[in-house]
Every structure is written in C-alpha cells, then in structure tokens.
A and B are shown apart, each in its own frame.
Chain A
Amino acid sequence: MIRYLLHRLGSALLVTVLASIGIFALIRLVPGDPVSVLAGPDATPASRAAIRAELGLDRPFWSQYAHWLGDLARLDLGPSYKLGGDVGSLIADGALNTVVLTLFALVLASVGALVTSTAAVVWDRRWLNSLLSALNTAAVAVPTFATALVLVLVFAVRFPVLPAGGTPPGGFFTHPDIAFQYLLLPGLALALPAWAALTRFLTEALRTQLQQPYVTTARALGIPRRRIVLTQALRNALPSSVTVLGIQFGTLLGGAILVEAVFAWPGLGRLIEQGISARDYPVVQVLLLLSVVVFVLTQLAGDLIHAWLDPRVRLNGVS
C-alpha cells in the first residue's frame, strides 16, 4: 500500500508540473495582454514598454516561468495587476465561499446519486426508470449557466422563496439555516450534472452487480432482494463509483466559475472570471494551478479510497 501510494504521488507531482507549464504558456497565448488593459487605449509606446518591463513581461518565457516557480516555492504570490491587492489575500477571501459551495454540491451530488440509483434498482418499475432516465439526460444536456438562470427565475423571481444570489450575510456558521437557503440554488445548479452522471454510472454498476453469481447465491439463501442491493451489491459497486466521483469533481470545479458568476457568489470562480477578463496573469495562473492541484489530490484520494474499499487490493498491497 505504501509503495502504491508513493508511485501515485510521483505521477501526481509530474501532472502538476506539466500542468503548471501548460497554464503558464496558455494564458500568454490568449489574445490581448495585460499591458493594454493597464495602460488604457491612449498609452504611448514608451509607457507601454515601461509597464511591460515593470511586470517582467519583456523577459524570455522560461525566465518568467522560473521566476514564478521561485515565488510559488516561497508562497509569495505577489500583487495582482489589475484586481487590486495581493493575490494571496484575494484568494484567501474567496476560498471559503468556494470550498463551502463545492463541498455542498459534492455532498448533494453523491448522496443524491446514491438515493436515486438505489431507488431505481430496488423499485425496478418501468415508469420510474423512464422518468429517471429522462431527468438524467436533461440534467447532463442542459448547460450549467442555463440551469442556474432557470433556478433563479423560478425560485427567486417567480416564486420568491429563496435568495437570488450572494452569500449569507452573517457568514456560513452563525445561522446554518439561513446559510442553507443561500446555498441551495447555487449548490443545486452546480451539483446537477455530477448528480446525473453519477446516478447513471451507479445504477449501471448496481445492475451489473445484480447479475453476479454471488447475488444468485444470496437469493438462493432467501435473502430479500432489497437487502441484497443495499448490503451486498452497493458495497461492491462503490469502489468504482468513488473513482467516477473523483472525475466528476473536475466538473464541479469548472461549473463553479459559471455558477458563481450567475449567483454573484464572491468565490474563486468569480475571481478567475474577473482575472481572465482583465488579463491579470498572476491571479489566473495561481487559480488554475490551484484547481489542478485540488483535482489531482481528489483523484489520488479517490484511488486510495477505492483501494481501501476493496479488500482484495487492501490486503494484498497490489494495485
């Protein structure tokens, strides 16, 4: 297990380094540059060159990259170009909002998927399956920003029962009930695609498990079908579903940018959106790298949980 972990950590590190180069290069390839944003449309070539030199953008690519890595290693994220203030404090301000929102959506998607897929398998009715399948397709097909807008229109505008956006005024922890109301719409909008994808996967995994010979053994022993689904099939279907959940986490990270924009949610997603519009390299670079790191760590955690859930892997130490 230790060797497996070391092996995985090594590849995770490699992915992160390659991603950092990619991010650094990609953002510089995007049309438009921070100098014109900062200097404004009427700047003289001389003042533009001065700004360029000040930001260090006149140096060669690899030198800029090495400089950035050095700063990262010292955890000195530097000042932002345009958004104002230190990149570190900008991130610290938005981080909690995004973490709470993403975790809320993650829990919603995984618990929701667990409920819908076991329900579909336990009550194996044709109408239920058709209904779930239709909802599923809709949830995957409709883009997140559209779902978000519809949710706002229905539950905040037409029937004003929930707040249309923003974070709870008293923070998340003083009045959890109020915080919940604020989280519900953005959380749902964010969770829906992952919920649907997970439901589809888990339902299929459960059905496959029910074809396995050990299920026939259990049925021949007089164990009720529902109990077999809940205590045996589900337990066997979980390991692979955890891996899929890890991949779906990437969807959540991407979705957070759109959802935060629609709900005026002051989180990292909104920060990244603003950073991209302003060509604020330091902000965007760090945030993209951060999301890569979070994603890679989630994958790693998913694989470890998978290994731990499967005694054949856990007890043999073989991957």
Chain B
Amino acid sequence: MLDLHPTETVLAIEHLAISFAQPRPAVEDVSVSLRRGEILALVGESGSGKSMTARAVLGLLPPGARAAGSIRYDGEELLGLPETDLNRIRGRRIAMVFQEPQTALNPVRTIGWQLREALRAHGLKSRRAAAERAVELLRAVEIPEPERRLGSYPHQLSGGQKQRVVLALALANEPEVLLADEPTTALDVTVQAEILRLLDRIRERTGTAIVLITHNMGVVAEIADRVVVLQAGNVVEEGETRTLFANPREPYTKTLLASVLRLPELDSVVEPSALLPSAPASDVPGPDVPGPDVPAPDVPAVEFRGVHVHYGSRRRGRAFPAVTDVSLRVAPGEVVGLVGESGSGKTTLGRLAAGLVPLAEGRVLLQGEDVLAAPRAERRHLRRGLAFVHQDPEASLDPRYAVGASIREPLDIHRVGTPAERDARVAELLDAVQLPASYAARRPRELSGGQRQRIALARALALEPTLLVADEPTSALDVSVQARVLELFRDLQERLGFACLFISHDLAVVHQVADRVAVLRGGELVETGPVGTVFARPEADYTRRLLDAVPVPDPARRGRRVRELAS
C-alpha cells in the first residue's frame, strides 16, 4: 500500500481558520496536506494552533469555536458535516490520540469494555468477535498478557500502558489517518522512545498516515518524514525533516531549533565549571558520594543521611517505599540536579528537605540542623532559609492575589522590615526577575506562563533563601520561554549564591543548570557526580539507558539510534 501510491494525498487542509470570541483567531491560515503512509509533524509552541487544527479535522472543536476554510478527506469535505456523518469518519477513517493518558480513558470501565465500545460504534456488534479483536489490538500495541488486561481498569495500568490502550482504541477500526496530539509528552523518556517506535511500526505495518503534533524537536527528528512549523495560527515553514533541520529558512524555525537544549554526545566531557564560573567547583563529598577534589568543608545547605520515606498505610507490610536509603549533600551555592522517571522519588526528596513528608528513617539536616528534631519555633526559622518553585505557576500562585501581594506574602509572614520596605523589596525582586515594577498590580491570569514562573521565582527568593527547591520549574513552558527562564535562573543563582535542588525529568535542562547530578530510580540513588562526567561517561546502566532514550534533535543520527535501541 505504501509503495502503490506514495504521494497520494489522504487529508488536505486548506486555508483553515478557527476563531473564538477573542480578538486573535486561534488558527488564521493553515494549509497542510497529508500523504498516504507518511508521518507528518505539526510543530509549534503553545498557542500556535496545532491542536486546534487537529481537532477541527474531526469536528471536535470546543463549543463557541468557528472554523472556516476546507478540510477534505478522500475528496469529502469534513468542515460543516453534521454530527451523524462525522461519526462515520471518526475512529473509522480518521482517529485521534491525546496527550494525557491518565484522563483519556474512562476510569470506571474496563479496558475490554472500552475497546468493544469503539468496535461497536462502527458495526462490530458480536460480543465474542469484539473480544477477539480487542485481544488482537492489545497485542498489536504490545501490551503483555492481553487476555488478562481486558478485565483491567485504567488505574491498574502504568502511564505508558494506558497510552498504548489509547492507541489501541484509535487503531481499532483501522483508520487511514491517525492524529496524535502530543502522544508522548506526558510520558517518561524511556516510555516515550518505546511509543515512538511503536508508532513507526504501526505505520509500516498498516500504512496509516500519522499527523504527529508536538512541541518537541527531538521527537520530530526521531520519526517524522515531513515537518510543518506553525506559529500563532499560521504555517511558517514546511519541508522534509532532514532538510528543515539542516537548513531552516525562516527565522522563527531557526530560533525554535536554537532554543532546543542538547545533551552532549556520550563520552565527550564538558567541564561543569565552564558553565557556571562563579559557582563552587565541586561538592563536599559525603561518605558514599565519590567526589573529585575536596574544597574547604562548609556546612552543607542540605544533607540527607540514609533517608527512607514510605507512603500509604503505616501498618506493617502495606507501606510503599518512595525513597530508600538515600544520602546526598548539597553544598552552599551548589546546584544539584535530581533526575529520574516518574516514581523515582525525586519530588519526594525535594519535599523532604522542607519536612513536608514524614521521614521513616534517617536524618535531614538543613545547614547542619536536624529539621524534624528541631522545636517548632526553630523549625520555622530553618524553613525561612528554604524556598520552593513548583512546576505549574498557574496552580502555585493565588489567582485572586495581585502578583505583588504573592511576592510580598513571605515578607509579611516573617515580618521583614516596615510595610514600605516590603513594597520596595517587591519592586526590587520584580526587577531581579526582569519584569517591570508595574506588574505587581497584575493578577496571575494576566501574565504568560513564563512571566508567572518568573513571579514564582521572585517570591521564592524574597527571603534570600540558602536553599531553593525547584520542582520541574520549566517543564510546563515552551522551549523558547524555557531557555530564557533557565538563563535568568542561572544568572540569579550566580549573583545570589543560593544552593539549589533542581528536580527535573529533562536531562538536557539539568545538564544546563546543574553542577552535580543525582540519578534516582524507584526511590534509590543510582549515581551521583559532576553533571558533565555523569552525562558523558555514565557508570550505571540505568543512567546510560536514560540518556539513550532522550530524543536527539538531529534527524541525521536517527538510523544510528534505532540500531542502538534495538540492541
């Protein structure tokens, strides 16, 4: 099928425009044509209209949205088609996969039920035939023990398995076109690599054309044949993947490619001190942390000594170990990256520093003092030296507070200076995060994601902490915004000299900001060391696998990587 009509167009989107009751249209003028059996990447930052374009194809735009232009599938106009006719197309001709596997499945129905329902919608009414086909589908998306899984509920599967089920649902009625909206964004890198390979195999086996919507240039380089770059509802550039990566024509594409953080090739050592000249050259080595050279032994900003954390029932046998025997030191002014996949315990460790989770065993020392053993008043004082920045600034800032009030709040709580001095300090902090002082009066929703994260950073720095715990601070941001926020972070860290536990699943981000890195897996510390050393010459197998799974924004390396992953 692939060879019979290599250039035949299955889906043609022409001059698509989508508008809401807002000043700016979500999609202004997008034309995309999809050929049979190809993988076409739709790339762009948030607000570029890539998701809306895909939703418009299946008539799944949010209420109030109006679409104009033309979307033709196999010669048939889809825009304006009534619901009943759309249901003939949906799932059967064109199917869609969504970003968040945690919520894309019905939580109170079994996997088997949901697959049967998808088959039933297009005529397969026999229960037994549907059950057989369901097993076949689960096998096709490489879920182990498919017969048994039919009776499982979504919450009994891992994130990656859920996304496979979502994929199985989409493939149930053998569609010719698959729209995949950020299908791997919510997944760990190793799982992401598996799902991408699966998509590629499905395309080869069935000839399904895939529209891959993503913001991740690494993912694009990994599997896309062609790329369409969107910006603010318009097509900026399109071309073959290799050509576009090698010779981007438009300035926007160039910026987009330039802001992608890259990991060094394995075995090429980068000195961490070259990245952060004013930060201390190395850490204070703990008893089980092999460190290279030893400077003056300062009191560490935070030290974990053989800590264990259990979640769930405290009764014997039922507790789930979230962190097991971790020892780690963060020297004053040092940035330690905590990396690991979901469930690795990295967030738990960060919260442990503030005494926010109960410690089962071991000790946590903040500047040499045991947080949990300290009396209440003392604990409050210790916590003053510690600040948090969370992943989602939209959730961590009070929507009803003006952002200035949010920044001021820690000053008010700890009664720092006079009210006038506090206001001056807010202006100073806003200036430090490169926002005009007039922004103090704005509400969080009047700011962009990157601006909100700057506010969160300003608030965290209000009390001049000695330790900052940053939990995925840039994961919700677009790459170009992320690059600017990281730059600001590094600049502030150099100037103010606070120590930082920088938690991230993104190895490239950690590589850029951290002095040292600690790799966690299943609650255990796998490896620690200077970031350049660990990422270039990982000692643990797991670290190497993690590094291998990161998609590289370089299509030329694709063949090599596929061979590596297959071995």
Binding site for B on A (CB under 8 A): 212-214, 216-225, 227, 231-232, 235-236, 309-312, 315
Give the residue of A231, A309, A310, A315 whose beta carbon is less than 8 angstroms from that of B117: A231
Closest residue of chain A to B59 (Cβ to Cβ) is A219
Please tell me if the beta carbons of B92 and A214 are within 8 angstroms of each other in the complex.
no
Please tell me if the beta carbons of A214 and B107 are within 8 angstroms of each other in the complex.
yes
Please tell me if the beta carbons of B108 and A218 are within 8 angstroms of each other in the complex.
no
Residues in A with CB closer than 8 Å to B170 are 220-221
Tell me the complex Cα distance, A315–B155, Å.
Answer: 10
Q: Mark B66-98, 1 if CB is under 8 A from A, else 0.
A: 000000000000000001101111111001101
B103 at the interface (CB under 8 A from A): yes
Closest residue of chain A to B117 (Cβ to Cβ) is A223
Are A222 and B89 CB-contacts (below 8 A) given A217-B105, A235-B109, A311-B108? yes
Residues in B with CB closer than 8 Å to A231 are 117
Closest residue of chain B to A232 (Cβ to Cβ) is B106
Please tell me if the beta carbons of B107 and A220 are within 8 angstroms of each other in the complex.
no
B374 at the interface (CB under 8 A from A): no
Give the residue of A219, A221, A312, A315 whose beta carbon is less than 8 angstroms from that of B172: A221
Q: Mark B167-182, 1 if CB is under 8 A from A, else 0.
A: 0011011000000000
Please tell me if the beta carbons of B106 and A236 are within 8 angstroms of each other in the complex.
yes
Please tell me if the beta carbons of B91 and A214 are within 8 angstroms of each other in the complex.
no
Give the residue of A212, A221, A235 whose beta carbon is less than 8 angstroms from that of B90: A221
Tell me the complex Cα distance, A231–B169, Å.
Answer: 17
Tell me the complex Cα distance, A315–B152, Å.
Answer: 10
Give the residue of A223, A225, A232, A315 whose beta carbon is less than 8 angstroms from that of B153: A315
Residues in B with CB closer than 8 Å to A227 are 121
Tell me the complex Cα distance, A213–B103, Å.
Answer: 6
Residues in B with CB closer than 8 Å to A235 are 106, 108-109
B562 at the interface (CB under 8 A from A): no
B109 shortest CB reach to chain A, Å: 7
Are A221 and B98 CB-contacts (below 8 A) given A235-B109, A236-B107? no
- 25 A-B residue pairs with Cβ-Cβ distance under 8 Å, sorted by A, are A214-B103, A214-B106, A216-B98, A217-B98, A218-B106, A218-B117, A220-B91, A220-B95, A221-B95, A221-B118, A221-B121, A222-B86, A222-B87, A222-B88, A222-B90, A222-B121, A224-B84, A231-B117, A232-B106, A232-B109, A236-B108, A311-B155, A312-B107, A312-B153, A315-B156
Please tell me if the beta carbons of A312 and B95 are within 8 angstroms of each other in the complex.
no
Residues in A with CB closer than 8 Å to B156 are 315
What are the nearest 8 A-B pairs in CB distance?
A222-B90, A221-B91, A222-B91, A220-B96, A213-B103, A222-B87, A223-B121, A214-B106
Residues in A with CB closer than 8 Å to B565 are none
Residues in B with CB closer than 8 Å to A223 are 87, 91, 117-118, 120-121
A163 shortest CB reach to chain B, Å: 44
Give the residue of B104, B122, B155, B173 whose beta carbon is less than 8 angstroms from that of A217: B104
Residues in A with CB closer than 8 Å to B155 are 311-312, 315
Give the residue of A212, A219, A312, A315 whose beta carbon is less than 8 angstroms from that of B60: A219
Closest residue of chain B to A213 (Cβ to Cβ) is B103
B58 at the interface (CB under 8 A from A): yes
Residues in A with CB closer than 8 Å to B103 are 212-214
B260 at the interface (CB under 8 A from A): no
Q: Mark B195-225, 1 if CB is under 8 A from A, else 0.
A: 0000000000000000000000000000000
Residues in A with CB closer than 8 Å to B172 are 221
Most chain A Cβ neighbours within 10 Å, of B88, B92, B153: B153
* Chain B, range 91-132, C-beta contacts under 8 Å to A: 91-92, 95-96, 98, 100, 103-109, 117-118, 120-122
B168 shortest CB reach to chain A, Å: 11
Closest residue of chain A to B122 (Cβ to Cβ) is A222
Most chain B Cβ neighbours within 10 Å, of A212, A214, A227: A214
Extra inter-chain contacts (15) besides given A212-B103, A217-B98, CB under 8 Å:
A213-B98, A213-B103, A214-B103, A216-B60, A217-B96, A220-B90, A221-B117, A222-B88, A223-B121, A224-B84, A224-B121, A232-B106, A309-B108, A311-B108, A312-B108
* Chain B, range 252-307, C-beta contacts under 8 Å to A: none
A291 shortest CB reach to chain B, Å: 33
B11 at the interface (CB under 8 A from A): no
Residues in A with CB closer than 8 Å to B169 are 217, 221
Tell me if A's interface is mostly helix, strand, loop or mixed. helix
B213 shortest CB reach to chain A, Å: 14
Most chain B Cβ neighbours within 10 Å, of A222, A312, A315: A222
Residues in B with CB closer than 8 Å to A214 are 103-107
Q: Mark B136-168, 1 if CB is under 8 A from A, else 0.
A: 000000000000000001011000000000100
Residues in B with CB closer than 8 Å to A221 are 90-91, 95, 117-118, 121, 169-170, 172-173
Closest residue of chain B to A212 (Cβ to Cβ) is B103
Residues in A with CB closer than 8 Å to B87 are 222-224
Residues in A with CB closer than 8 Å to B86 are 222
Tell me the complex Cα distance, A222–B121, Å.
Answer: 6
Residues in B with CB closer than 8 Å to A236 are 106-108
Most chain B Cβ neighbours within 10 Å, of A216, A235, A309: A216
Tell me the complex Cα distance, A312–B173, Å.
Answer: 29
Tell me the complex Cα distance, A312–B154, Å.
Answer: 9
Most chain B Cβ neighbours within 10 Å, of A221, A223, A236, A312: A221
Most chain B Cβ neighbours within 10 Å, of A236, A311, A312: A311
Closest residue of chain A to B115 (Cβ to Cβ) is A221
Tell me the complex Cα distance, A184–B312, Å.
Answer: 51
B457 shortest CB reach to chain A, Å: 31
Tell me the complex Cα distance, A60–B106, Å.
Answer: 60
Tell me the complex Cα distance, A219–B169, Å.
Answer: 12
* Chain B, range 220-236, C-beta contacts under 8 Å to A: none
Residues in A with CB closer than 8 Å to B88 are 222
Residues in A with CB closer than 8 Å to B96 are 217, 220
Please tell me if the beta carbons of B166 and A220 are within 8 angstroms of each other in the complex.
no
Tell me the complex Cα distance, A227–B84, Å.
Answer: 13
Residues in B with CB closer than 8 Å to A225 are 83
Tell me the complex Cα distance, A223–B92, Å.
Answer: 11
Tell me the complex Cα distance, A262–B173, Å.
Answer: 61
* Chain B, range 48-73, C-beta contacts under 8 Å to A: 58, 60
Please tell me if the beta carbons of A220 and B121 are within 8 angstroms of each other in the complex.
no
Tell me the complex Cα distance, A310–B106, Å.
Answer: 11
B81 shortest CB reach to chain A, Å: 12
B106 shortest CB reach to chain A, Å: 4
Please tell me if the beta carbons of B166 and A217 are within 8 angstroms of each other in the complex.
yes
B96 shortest CB reach to chain A, Å: 4
Most chain B Cβ neighbours within 10 Å, of A218, A220, A235, A311: A220
Closest residue of chain B to A310 (Cβ to Cβ) is B108
B3 shortest CB reach to chain A, Å: 29
Most chain A Cβ neighbours within 10 Å, of B88, B121, B173: B121
B73 shortest CB reach to chain A, Å: 13
Closest residue of chain A to B89 (Cβ to Cβ) is A222
Tell me the complex Cα distance, A212–B104, Å.
Answer: 8
Tell me the complex Cα distance, A127–B88, Å.
Answer: 29
B352 shortest CB reach to chain A, Å: 23
Give the residue of A213, A222, A315 whose beta carbon is less than 8 angstroms from that of B104: A213
Residues in A with CB closer than 8 Å to B122 are 222
Residues in A with CB closer than 8 Å to B89 are 222
Closest residue of chain B to A224 (Cβ to Cβ) is B87
Residues in A with CB closer than 8 Å to B100 are 213
Please tell me if the beta carbons of A219 and B90 are within 8 angstroms of each other in the complex.
yes
Tell me the complex Cα distance, A230–B169, Å.
Answer: 20
B137 shortest CB reach to chain A, Å: 12
Tell me the complex Cα distance, A154–B172, Å.
Answer: 57
A215 shortest CB reach to chain B, Å: 8
